[in-house]
């Protein structure tokens, strides 16, 4: 079991472009969480998804950010029209049930030029 896989590990975008971050949960896990870590800060919850459903998106910015977890394939965090403030590390975690510990991926470091 390879664990939670995130790609790419590093992503560079220019202002105004779109960024797509992918997360494949651990085998057998149907709960996916996205977190963002700004420099010098802890991880901040963004969104919680369970196959094809968004359960909690209370941490998602109101504009430009969206997430999905389709029936087949990885979960995608999409950021449209990126700005410099979107530069951060984005972590994905998965669990088999919402009350079970979350397992984290290596993260995607997003840099905006």
Partner 1 sequence: AQRVTQPEKLLSVFKGAPVELKCNYSYSGSPELFWYVQYSRQRLQLLLRHISRESIKGFTADLNKGETSFHLKKPFAQEEDSAMYYCALKGGSWGKLQFGAGTQVVVTP
Interface with partner 1 (CB under 8 A): 3-4, 31, 33, 35, 40-45, 48, 55-56, 58-59, 91, 95, 98-107
Residue number, 13 or 45, with CB nearest to partner 1: 45
CA distances from residue 68 to 3, 16, 20, 41, 73 in whole angstroms, order as listed = 20, 21, 11, 25, 10
Kindly compute the dihedral angle of the four CA atoms of residues 92, 5, 13, 16, in this order, to the nearest 10 degrees: -50
Which of 45, 35, 30 has its CA nearest to residue 92? 35
Q: Report the nearest approach of partner 1 to the CB of residue 54 (Å).
A: 12
Q: How far is the CB of 24 from partner 1 (least distance, A)?
A: 14
Tell me the pairing of strands 103-104 and 88-95. Answer: antiparallel
Closer by beta carbon to partner 1, 48 or else 82: 48
Nearest residue (CB) to partner 1, 55 versus 113? 55
Q: Nearer Cβ to partner 1, position 7 or 59?
A: 59
Name the minimum Å distance from CB 95 to partner 1.
6
Asked if residue 108 lies in contact with residue 11, where contact means CB atoms within 8 angstroms, the answer is yes
Q: How far is the CB of 59 from partner 1 (least distance, A)?
A: 7
DSSP 59: T
């Amino acid at each position: 079991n390879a664990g939670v896989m995130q790609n790419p590990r590093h992503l560079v975008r220019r202002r105004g472009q779109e960024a797509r971050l992918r997360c494949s949960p651990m085998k057998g896990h149907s709960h996916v969480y996205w977190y963002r870590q700004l420099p010098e800060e802890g991880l901040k919850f963004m969104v919680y998804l369970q196959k094809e459903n968004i359960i909690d998106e209370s941490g998602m910015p109101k504009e430009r950010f969206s997430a999905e977890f389709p029936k087949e394939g990885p979960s995608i965090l999409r950021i449209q029209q990126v700005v410099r403030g979107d530069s951060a590390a984005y972590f994905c975690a998965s669990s088999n049930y919402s009350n079970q510990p979350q397992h984290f991926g290596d993260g995607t470091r997003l840099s905006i030029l």
